[in-house]
Structures are given as C-alpha cells and as structure tokens.
Structure 1
C-alpha cells in the first residue's frame, strides 16, 4: 500500500505542479502569452485556462475534495494536455507537440493510482 501511495503522490505532484505553474505563467510570463497568440488563441481563453489550471491543481492536491470533483478535474486536465499537443502539432510540427504529453503521462498514472488507493470503480 505504501508503494502505491508514493507512486500516486509523485505522479500527482509532477502533473499538478506542471498544471499550476503553467496556469500561473499564462498570466505573468510574456513568452507564454506570446505562445498563445502564436497558436491563434485570444487572451480571454488564455486567462480562463490559466485560472482553471490553478484551481484544478488545487482540487486534485487537496485530499478533502470529493472524488466526483476530482474525476471531472482529471478529465479536464486530460483534454487540456491533449488539446495542447494537437495545437502545437498543427502550428509548430512534431517537435514542440510532444511536451504536453509528458504531464499527460503523469496525469494518467495519478488517475489510475487515485482509483487504486480509493477503491473506486469506473462507470459502465
């Protein structure tokens, strides 16, 4: 059980640290703002996504948040990381499109171990 807990928290912290810091940088880092413009996204989308990434990271990291909220948050992060991959692939090519897949892998590991540790089953 302890091994599963360590795997869960390691993967979760890596994925959520990526989510929270990128969300913060969407507001504060001129380079990140430029990337959004380069990809063709407007400022309101960048701001909304940044806020939701920070809030979503907190929802996953805070143990008292309900499993249902965490499920939706995992889903939202999954869509975000895969959409980022696709946007970079279309605009910049394969090289830059692979970066969002790294936190996605940690997100999947976190999700699987979240279920394992909480004895949750998937809905059919």
Structure 2
C-alpha cells in the first residue's frame, strides 16, 4: 500500500471514530447535555450537531462520494473544532477541553492533505 493511502485512511478513520463517539455522547450523556445548557445553547443545537457529526464522519469514510460533498464535510468539521476550542477557552474550561479540539483539527488537516494528494494523478 502506498504511504499516502495509509496515512489518509489512518487519520480519516481515527478522526471519524472520534466524531462518531462524540456524536453518541451528544445523544446519551447528561453531562454533555448540561454543558450545552451551561454554554447557553438550545438543546436542539446539541441534537443537530450530533447528527451533523454522524453524517460528516460517514461522508469522510465513503470513498465514492462527490468531491464537493467531502470538501464541505472537511470545512464543517474544521469550523466546528475551531469554534469548540474558542468556546471552551472563553468559558474558562480546563486546558484539555481547549486543546483537544485543536489536536483533532490537526488530524483533520492531515486527513485532508493526504486526501488531496491521493486525488492527484501519479507522476511518472
């Protein structure tokens, strides 16, 4: 297997599993629900964001989807992760809560860059 393919699928798989886990917590964890309320969000936003994470993760994992759809999924996740980090910092949450979204943003960027590399034609 080519290096680009291995790096792409490793980062994409890791990222997608994390987003699916996060989405499941949005639906099942009373603590997550309480945090959304504490930050001033309506409960419908938690549910909407949970479904968006599920759909976005599946979009990244399904190879045959349109490139534009994948671009939007990458952009949506990027905005979500940067916003989460800023919100946790503004709310005075522990450093882990501020840094964790940025770590996953880094994994997302690596996935995106290697996805783009895989799309380029091979140079002989």
Q: Are 1:11 and 2:21 matched, yes or no?
A: no
Write the deviation string for residues 36-95 of structure 1: whole angstroms up to 9, x where unpaired. Answer: 122221101111000000011001101111111000100000000000001100002561
Runs of 4+ in 1 over 3 A off after TM superposition: none
C-alpha RMSD of the superposition = 1.5
The 5-angstrom pairing of residues 83-122 of structure 1 reads 83-93=83-93, 95=95, 96-119=97-120
Q: Which runs of 5+ in 1 are unaligned?
A: none
SS at 1:12 equivalent: helix
The 3 A distance-change label for structure 1 pair 93 and 34 is closer
C-alpha distance in 2, partners of 1:40/1:27? 18
User: Size of the alignment, in residue pairs?
Assistant: 120
- Paired residue for 2:38? 38
